[in-house]
C-alpha cells in the first residue's frame, strides 16, 4: 500500500530571512520543497494552509529579490480595484454631503457601509500583522492576520455585490432615463479592452519572469544551522 510522508515543517530560524513573517515562529514549509511536497502541504496544517485554501490562484510580483516592493505591489493590487470600483459611490457621497444631511441614507445603504467597514479592516490587517505581532508563536496556524484578512475580503466582496444589486434595483429607471443602453457593439468593445489589458499585464510579468536568472541563491537552501538552542527556546516560549 502506498504511503506518503508529509513534509517536515520548520521553525522561523531554519528558513531564509526573506521568508520570515512578523510574529510567526513555526509552521514554515521548506523553501526547496518538491512539487509533491507542495501538493501534500495543502493537506497539512502549516502557517499557510488556510491561506492556500482561501485562494487557489498563485501570484508572481518579485517576492525574493525585493520583498518590500512585493508588499507594495500586493497592497496596490487590492487598493486599486477598491478605489476604482467605488469611485461612483464616493462621487455620489460627495454630491450628497454638499447638499446637506437629508440624502445620507439614500446615498449610503447598509450594504455600502458594511462593505466599506470590511475594506478598512482588510487593509488594516494586511499591513499591521496583528494579532501575531502581539503574541509571537500563538497564531502560527489559526487566527493570524493573513487569514483574518481573507475573511474580511470575502465578506467585503459579498456586501459590495449586495450593494450593487440594491443600487441596480433602486436606480434602474433613473439610469435608463440618463443614459441610452450600451448595446452589443459597446459591450463587445468594453469586454475587448478589459481582456486586452489583462493580457498585457500577463505578458509583461511573464517576460519579466523569463528574463530572471534561472537560479536564485535564496532558493538553493541555506547552510544547516545548529539545533534550536536552549536560550532560543526560552526566549520564544
DSSP state of 140: S
| Domain regions of the chain by residue span | 182-220
Question: Nearest Cα to 83, choosing from 118, 119, 113, 127?
Answer: 119
Whether the full predicted model's pTM is greater than 0.75, yes or no, is no
CB-neighbour burial class of residue 46 (10 A; exposed 0-12, middle 13-18, buried 19+): buried
pLDDT of 106-162, one tens digit each?
567 889 889 999 999 998 998 899 999 999 999 999 999 999 999 998 999 899 899
Cα gap 237→234, rounded to integer Å: 5
Residue 118's pLDDT is 93
Is 109 within 8 Å of 89 (Cβ atoms)? Answer: no
DSSP state of 10: B
Question: Nearest Cα to 115, choosing from 165, 72, 77?
Answer: 165
Residue 108's pLDDT is 72
Residue segments in the chain with a per-residue pLDDT below the cut of 50 = 1-2, 57-60, 218-237
Question: Nearest Cα to 123, choosing from 84, 87, 82?
Answer: 82
Amino acid at each position: 500500500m502506498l504511503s506518503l510522508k508529509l513534509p517536515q515543517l520548520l521553525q522561523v530560524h531554519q528558513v531564509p530571512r526573506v521568508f520570515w513573517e512578523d510574529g510567526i515562529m513555526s509552521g514554515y514549509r521548506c523553501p526547496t520543497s518538491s512539487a509533491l511536497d507542495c501538493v501534500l502541504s495543502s493537506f497539512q496544517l502549516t502557517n499557510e494552509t488556510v491561506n492556500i485554501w482561501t485562494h487557489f490562484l498563485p501570484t508572481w510580483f518579485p517576492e525574493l529579490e525585493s520583498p518590500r516592493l512585493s508588499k507594495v505591489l500586493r497592497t496596490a493590487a487590492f487598493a486599486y480595484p477598491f478605489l476604482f470600483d467605488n469611485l461612483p459611490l464616493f462621487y455620489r457621497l460627495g454630491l450628497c454631503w454638499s447638499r446637506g444631511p437629508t440624502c445620507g441614507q439614500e446615498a449610503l445603504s447598509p450594504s455600502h457601509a458594511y462593505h466599506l467597514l470590511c475594506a478598512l479592516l482588510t487593509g488594516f490587517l494586511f499591513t499591521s500583522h496583528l494579532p501575531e505581532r502581539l503574541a509571537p508563536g500563538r497564531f502560527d496556524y489559526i487566527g493570524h492576520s493573513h487569514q483574518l484578512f481573507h475573511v474580511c475580503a470575502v465578506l467585503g466582496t459579498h456586501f459590495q455585490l449586495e450593494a450593487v444589486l440594491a443600487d441596480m434595483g433602486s436606480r434602474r429607471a433613473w439610469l435608463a432615463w440618463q443614459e441610452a443602453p450600451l448595446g452589443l457593439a459597446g459591450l463587445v468593445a468594453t469586454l475587448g479592452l478589459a481582456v486586452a489589458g489583462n493580457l498585457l499585464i500577463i505578458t509583461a510579468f511573464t517576460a519579466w519572469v523569463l528574463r530572471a536568472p534561472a537560479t536564485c541563491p535564496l532558493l538553493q537552501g541555506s547552510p544547516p544551522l545548529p539545533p534550536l538552542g536552549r536560550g532560543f527556546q526560552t526566549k520564544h516560549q
